[in-house]
């Protein structure tokens, strides 16, 4: 039997309420109907999503919740991911790619003086967050949806980009994470990119931790360490490549 706490975004109190109504495992939830689940305290509008994730676990495959985002399926897209330093809130990298072009990165060295220039033409140095966003906008393909994972990237962009870049990016940035959550249930507890992309076969080459990337960035800045740069490059490029893998799967998958 699969425990109830494997279901995403379900509290211990809701798990207790499910057990009190006789749903002691995920298999019980999958065999019920959404209307059955709505009789459980704490479950109303989320009944369909909870049921869909239970079915995904039992069937060992993703389960369709809603139609795929039709406006993205036949449209060329770009992908964007940022890295920030939680100790000062600053953006230190903005990485982009398109469906047909490999990743490029804008490194933001605000107040920093790197010992060496990047040894990769896909990397561009800037020295303020506003300048970094301006360059990222110039590198992005025109009139293309710019997909990112969760609202974090767009929220930081609104706070750190200057006009007119802020308004131009705000008009095209779109949360792929929200589209995926709305569309499909995976047999996963987490819907983070670090969970969904590996489920679809993608693996980060160096590591999958932002803190290690930040440490490598600082080692490259202060020490000029080439190995640190190589690991950092792999991580931040893999983040946008992972989103491309998810979107490619969403375009290709067929149900029924």
The span from the CA of 209 to the CA of 192, in Å, is 12
Q: pLDDT band for position 131 (50/70/90)?
A: very high
What does the pLDDT look like over 12-53, one tens digit per residue?
999 999 999 999 999 999 999 999 999 999 999 999 999 999
235-249 b/e (C-beta count within 10 Å ≥ 16 → b): bbbbbbbbbbbbbeb
Residues of the chain above pLDDT 70, percent? 99
Asked if 147 and 80 touch (Cβ cutoff 8 Å), the reply is yes
pTM for this prediction? 0.95
The span from the CA of 61 to the CA of 145, in Å, is 28
Q: pLDDT band for position 256 (50/70/90)?
A: low
Enumerate domains of the chain plus CATH numbers: 4-60 (1.10.150.20), 70-252 (3.30.420.10)
What does the pLDDT look like over 220-233, one tens digit per residue?
999 999 999 999 99
Asked if 125 and 135 touch (Cβ cutoff 8 Å), the reply is no
What values do phi and psi take at 179, rounded to 5?
-65, -45
| Average pLDDT value over all residues in the chain | 97
pLDDT of residue 82: 99
pLDDT of residue 254: 80
What does the pLDDT look like over 161-204, one tens digit per residue?
999 999 999 999 999 999 999 999 999 999 999 999 999 999 99
**pLDDT over threshold 70, residue 10:** yes
């Amino acid at each position: 039997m699969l425990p109830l706490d494997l279901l995403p975004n379900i509290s211990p109190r809701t798990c207790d309420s499910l057990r009190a109504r006789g749903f002691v495992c995920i298999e019980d939830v999958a065999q019920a109907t959404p209307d059955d689940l709505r009789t459980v305290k704490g479950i109303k509008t989320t009944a369909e999503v909870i049921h869909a994730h239970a079915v995904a676990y039992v069937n060992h495959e993703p389960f369709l919740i809603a139609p795929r985002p039709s406006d993205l399926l036949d449209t060329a897209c770009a992908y964007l991911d940022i890295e920030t330093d939680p100790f000062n809130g600053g953006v230190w990298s903005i990485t982009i790619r398109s469906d047909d072009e490999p990743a490029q990165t804008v490194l933001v060295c605000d107040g920093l003086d790197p010992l060496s220039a990047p040894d990769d033409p896909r990397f561009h140095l800037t020295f303020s967050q506003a300048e970094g966003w301006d360059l990222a906008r110039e590198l992005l393909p025109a009139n293309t949806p710019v997909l990112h994972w969760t609202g974090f990237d767009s929220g930081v962009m609104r706070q750190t980009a200057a006009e007119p870049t802020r308004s131009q990016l705000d008009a095209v940035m779109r949360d792929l994470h929200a589209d995926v959550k709305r569309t499909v249930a995976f047999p996963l507890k987490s819907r983070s990119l670090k969970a969904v992309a590996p489920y679809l076969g993608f693996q980060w080459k160096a590591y999958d931790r932002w803190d290690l990337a930040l440490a490598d960035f600082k080692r490259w800045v202060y020490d000029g360490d080439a190995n640190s740069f190589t690991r950092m490059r792999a991580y931040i490029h893999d983040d946008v490549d992972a989103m491309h893998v998810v979107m490619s799967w969403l375009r290709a998958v067929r149900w029924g």
